[in-house]
Chains A and B, each alone.
Chain A
Amino acid sequence: DAGVTQSPTHLIKTRGQQVTLRCSPKSGHDTVSWYQQALGQGPQFIFQYYEEEERQRGNFPDRFSGHQFPNYSSELNVNALLLGDSALYLCASTVVPETEAFFGQGTRLTVV
């Protein structure tokens, strides 16, 4: 059983560019959440998708957007990249009503 998979594993972008990160949830899971983890910090909740809609959002600007597809996979898009967007981006999946979240290995984004 494949767990949560994320792609790519590493990415380097230039300030002002746009980036798309991808996540496939664990088999049978229907809810995807995205987190940003800056170096030395805990993960911060960005948003959550369920039934192809953004259900909840953390304190992140509109430059961060997402999408969920009918097969439950998800994308995270970040526009107008800033140096401060450099972080590990984690995807987590769950299935309602379970509370246990399964995390992917993350995408390491470096903005230069």
Chain B
Amino acid sequence: DTGVSQDPRHKITKRGQNVTFRCDPISEHNRLYWYRQTLGQGPEFLTYFQNEAQLEKSRLLSDRFSAERPKGSFSTLEIQRTEQGDSAMYLCASSLGGRGGYTFGSGTRLTVV
């Protein structure tokens, strides 16, 4: 068990570019979550997968955002036409079952310039 891995750890991109982040959850965990965290705030829910099915998307997840978990293992989060307001830490987490605490990854810090 190597924990939840996220790649890259840091990403700097120009406004208007597309970016993609990857998350590898703990192998036996069937649930995977994406959260976004801005400076001085707690994480905010973006979306959730149970196995390969995306079961809910927050209204924070605009049409420029898309997340996939094609085989129920790793997940990707893509942001198209990035904006400066997208600058944040993007956190992935996984769990076995729905109740209780998740295990978070170290996050991907996105800076849009």
A, B in one complex: no
> Hey, which bits of chain A sit against chain B, CB under 8 A?
none
